[in-house]
Amino acid sequence: MVDCYRPDNIDDNIIFTRITHDRDCSISMNYIDIFLESLAAEHGRSPKTLASYESDLRLADASIPGGLMAADGTSIQQYLSSLPDKATSISRKASALRGFYKFLMLEHKIQTNPTTNLELPRRARTLPKFLSIDEIELLISSAGDTRNSTRLRAMIELLYASGLRVSELCELPMTSILGDKLLIHGKGAKERLVPMHDTAISALNKWLSIRGDDASKYVFPSGGKTGHITRDGFFKILKKCAILSGISPDRVSPHVLRHSFASHLLAGGANLRAIQTMLGHEDISTTQIYTHVMPEKLHETVLHHPMATNKDSYK
């Protein structure tokens, strides 16, 4: 019996001229490899995402009778329904399968997409956590009482002013600074221009004036092997700031600052599409979750970012 789950069983010499239901398991495994290569080369998916997709697809290929290349909508539905995982995990596995079959359709390797009418368990909507404006001000002020306070203040200001992901902040190259804007290379190798208000610009410039280490390409360099401050390192410092400011550290994280950025902008009447662009969300539905935490009357206001003294910078 051939072990279809192990990648070392792949026969690279197989020529794929047609797909039949009496398939050799190596066929689907080779197409999984080709799909993953496409995600990496054309869509810039991270190694972590690729590893998750590979694990999900190989498990499905080994579990569905006949494998992925012979699967129909019923067998895929039965497979997903049999999983003991949480709804979020099942949704991720379904997303991997949808992407795989969409790829096969585009490559004309199959004529019918078996994932078209999948029914998945409903996920409970988790509303984003965010801090109040007063709490943000306390957090920023507390940065002055910590080591490397100028760097830390600049990082907090940038997170809250521009809604960056923590990885985008920590790995921010010097070449990303374009006057009052940042050129961000986000998920999927997509670029976006993110504005900074004058308070954030001032904090950034103050840091750059004492930064030193001109040889480093990173805005926030470090002596570690990555060459820049790490996500874990920044996370720990931010927790200390929370304690100093009297805020529960459980309520503070880089992502909470990103949520606060979006929530406060929306509360100030900023356009949802503009917020989507600044956050780097691929789908507007991801951004729309912030509408569920805003009182209806705030949607009608025309103010913008509460920490900006130059409101026009967000128009």
State the catalytic residue, choosing from 23, 92, 102, 255: 255
79 in active site: no
State the catalytic residue, choosing from 58, 151, 228, 281: 281
Cα separation, 306 vs 136, whole angstroms: 10
185 in active site: no
165 in active site: yes
92 in active site: no
| 141 in Cβ contact with 245 (< 8 Å) | yes
122 in active site: no
State the catalytic residue, choosing from 93, 153, 228, 258: 258
Cα separation, 32 vs 68, whole angstroms: 9
181 in active site: no
State the catalytic residue, choosing from 290, 304, 305, 314: 290
State the catalytic residue, choosing from 98, 185, 187, 206: 187
Task: Indicate which residues carry an active-site annotation.
Answer: 165, 187, 255, 258, 281, 290
